[in-house]
Amino acid sequence: KDINDTLGHHVGDELLTVAAWRLAAIKNSLAAVRLGGDEFALLLPLDSNDEIGVISRHILESLRQQTPAGDHVLTVSASIGVAIAPEHAKDPETLLRRADIALYRAKSMGRNRHEFFSKTLQAEIVRTKRVADEILGGLERNEFCAHYQPQFDARTLEIAGVEALARWNHPREGLLAPDAFLGVAEELNVVA
């Protein structure tokens, strides 16, 4: 998107074409397909997590190579989400969904890395989505309020100010401190 917006769609298309060729050239790849936008999927017959790690690092290095596109030479980063059949799923749709969950984690941990799907990760993503939905509903229902905490001057012990602390009057869980919701609220860009 950044490349399309700054350098034009023709440059973005050239970069996607080069990325597709690099991915298709991955050793032992049974299939390399573009899912849409800048997302691709590879089907690889690998036997171990170590082997997956080696191939993932090779893919990341391949994609990081400088790429001529239009009048520009570009360097891009990538993230990889890994799901393993039949351990994580037997059907292709579920396998792709679980690889996408791992991809989301890889992106959130910083680019140029790979992450494996796990049930723990899935539960965390589901919980984050639930909390995000509840935060948006809570904002509409005015469930958030400020609690004020005085600040004292250490020498005189006089009140020097007041700190406003956000609290969430959750309908089922009661009054929640920021650690229960602030990280998700920041991801949603609903806090300043």
Q: Decide if 152 contacts 160 (C-beta within 8 A).
A: yes
Place of tokens 């004292």: 152
Per-residue pLDDT of the chain (192 residues; tens, 9 = 90+): 888 999 999 999 999 999 999 999 988 888 889 999 899 999 999 878 899 999 999 999 999 999 888 788 999 899 999 999 999 999 999 999 999 999 989 998 888 999 999 999 999 988 888 999 999 999 999 999 999 999 999 999 999 999 999 999 999 999 999 999 998 998 888 876
Q: Is the Cβ–Cβ distance between 122 and 138 less than 8 Å?
A: no
* Distance in angstroms (rounded) separating the CA atoms of residues 65 and 76: 8
Residue 38 annotated in active site: yes
Largest CA distance in the chain: 73
pLDDT of residue 142: 96
Angle between helices 92-108 and 119-140 (to 10 degrees): 70
Return the percent helix, strand and coil in the chain, to nearest 5. 45, 25, 30
Q: Which of 2, 5, 38, 153 is catalytic?
A: 38
Residues 81, 104: contact at Cβ < 8 Å?
yes
* pLDDT of the residue at 181: 94
pTM (two decimals): 0.74
Question: Amino acid letter at 71?
Answer: D
Token pair in block for residue 140 = 């509409």
Structure confidence at residue 192 (pLDDT): 60
Per-residue pLDDT at 7: 92
- In this prediction, residue 160 carries a pLDDT of 95
Phi, psi torsion values for 113, nearest 5 degrees: -150, 165
Find residue 113's DSSP bridge partners. Answer: 79
The answer to whether the CB of 55 falls within 8 A of the CB of 32 is no
State the Cα–Cα distance between residues 152 and 172, nearest whole angstrom: 35
Cβ–Cβ < 8 Å for 96, 85:
no
